[in-house]
Structure 1
Amino acid sequence: MALAEDQRLANPLLEGLQLTRRPEPCAMVIFGASGDLTKRKLFPALYSLAYRQLLPEKFGIVGVARTEETDDDFRERMKAAVQEFGRDDFRDDVWKLLADGMHYVAGTAEDGDDVFVHIDQTLTEFDRDRGTDGNRVYYLAVPPPAFETIVKGIGKHRSKQGWTRLIVEKPFGHDLQSAQELNTLLHKHFDESEIFRIDHYLGKETVQNMLALRFANGIFEPIWNRQFIDHIQITVAETIGIEGRADYYEHAGAIRDIFQNHLLQLIALTAMEPPIDFAADSVRNEKVKVLKSIHTPGPKHVVRGQYGRGYIEGQEVPGYREEQGVDPNSMTETFIAAKLFVDNWRWADTPIYIRAGKRLARRETTIAIEFKRAPHPPFEELAAEGLR
């Protein structure tokens, strides 16, 4: 997948520099290719990589879902998704490079070996015609109940040549026991080095900025503690509702959907100690220390709620219990707010306020650090918010 030299993304800072090395040839299999995640996130991201020439030159995509459609139908549907949700200019030449290597397999893991045999045949054709060398990336963009059958099928039919990567999207299980069972299942068929548990929030600019702000600026780390910081506020607000995903959301709610993954990741990055380096294990070890130090909040420090009928950007929207597929008496929360404490030397008695929800006034992901007032503030007439 190569573009002409003059078609490269214009950036004067790249002149005279070696561009990023492209990854090895591989084929990507997306289970759940008709789902919301694939449409909104995965294909716009793949197009963005193609736009920047960061995909392997020898690359192919197999979409797998229960919907009956042809390869051309799949390409047209994903093209529309990229045009609607992509952040880069849509260019036919870039899309053609991606679309030429796209194929679709209709079926589910419940169909037994047939669907995996079909996938394997397509991947073998990729190896022969596109030079993907037996390297595979499997992306599980499906609900957790489908994981077990898919993982067993991949394990049974995995290529004996090349490398394999398995990407698992959240939610990772429904509770502690199911998460542990899923982990055991994955390790029966894959080595830990082959497993990637994805939280896409870690790629957001807010998160990346936090790492740079804390650890690339010597001015902040000495005051990043309970002596100077009064409290921390972390907000993840969305204007959208459940977007037709009642089956998923009724079993998840805001706590499982966003608190136990996205918000805890943001808390960990904000509160963790400096890692010895930025290798995955080093960062992960420091995050774990923070998570183990979070004091379990009591009922008086937690608020749960649901969105009701109202207006978003001038459009009338239904309440959660009025959404299609939602139990009219549902107690599933779409909003969560909590006051947390990290019981360690750096953060003792410093509250961390978190809030997240759907159908809120504006879309926003922020981490606000509120420093303590000076002993004799000369600017008392200014609002505290203006001094953040």
Structure 2
Amino acid sequence: MIGTVVRGVRNPFRSGARAALLVGLLALLLGAFALLMQATEAMQGQVQQLQRTLGTVIELREAGAMGSGFGQGADEGALTATTLMSLRQLPDGGAITRIEPYVYQPQIEAQYANVYAMAIGTAPEARLRALGDLATEEAPVIAGRGFTPQDAQARVAVVGSLYAEQRLGQSPAQALGTMLTLGGAPFEVVGVYGTGNDTADNHVFIPIETFRAVFDSGERLSKAFLTVKSIDQLEAVVQDLQTLPGVDVVTQRETVAATQGHLSSLAGSGRYVAGLLAVLGSVLVTFVLVLSMRARQRELATFKALGASHSELILQVVAEAATLCGLGAVGALLVASVGAHFAESLFGLALSLDAAQLLPMFLFAAALALIGSVYPVVRILGLSPAVAFKESL
């Protein structure tokens, strides 16, 4: 019995080219399948993240102010700290979990290639949101650090990557510790953010209390970002906010809905392609295995003529199939890992292969190998050795 299993394990290596072909097919099939499933899960995660980070965010602006923050509202100063204090008094104000005030100061200097820039005052605990071409964008810190509660009145700054390059003449890492001047006051750069958008990466953030002291902006605000508990409560809160005088209420509902639809469509396409790939790959691998077993018909007939039992021959083929699918599963891991690396490098899509996917991948490979190996062997065993020899000629 053990000798039969050992013989089955060795069989794939008797023909290196054939074994390489079968293992390569299994690796590509399972690796691509796992990669597509990972991509689908990642896109579903992005949809959920959009719901959490943008779908529940409301933006308050001075009435009539441009979305970029330039310009003054018709009723200058209508959006102030007093306005924020009144938010909790609204009927649905209890649904607001976070309030982030922002105040802006244009920093336009024609000598730079990208003249659109802002000095932005924000609370140290607020998320950094840079002003893009059409809307605000999350601004992750890529070097150094963001603000801490201890920075509330400190002269520290977090600058965009383009701001560091053009106005400080430094790379993000080199810009840390650099001094810059805003409103005649010195500031130390403690962090650099990057969004990948030149317009959004051309700003400088400083603590809001320091901003007011340096620029003498008083209680006036340019914007305030509100976060509600859930997207289901968004509409009711928006209706309450629209009763406030001198402010405009803006949400990302349309943007989130459009992005969700796009990502959901991509996820659906990924599942469809993964299913199609599984079907086509299964047929191809099974066909190759059937041909492989047919090519060994005389060998199996010889074993049968020498007295080998049907169970021994089937066990030998099962051991061979298990070896092939095991090698294919290992190859699939390599294919999926390399594909995940390229997906992150090219598209910024972080993919991770869950260990829980290993067992289904192995079972899927085993099913392909068994179907392609056992079926022709059972047929051959039903023939007499003489007929099996004759058919193989």
TM-score, with structure 2 as normaliser: 0.24
Q: Per residue, is there more helix in 1 or in 2?
A: 2
Instruction: For CA contacts below 8 A with separation 6 or more, give which structure has more relative contact order.
Output: 2
Larger Rg: 2
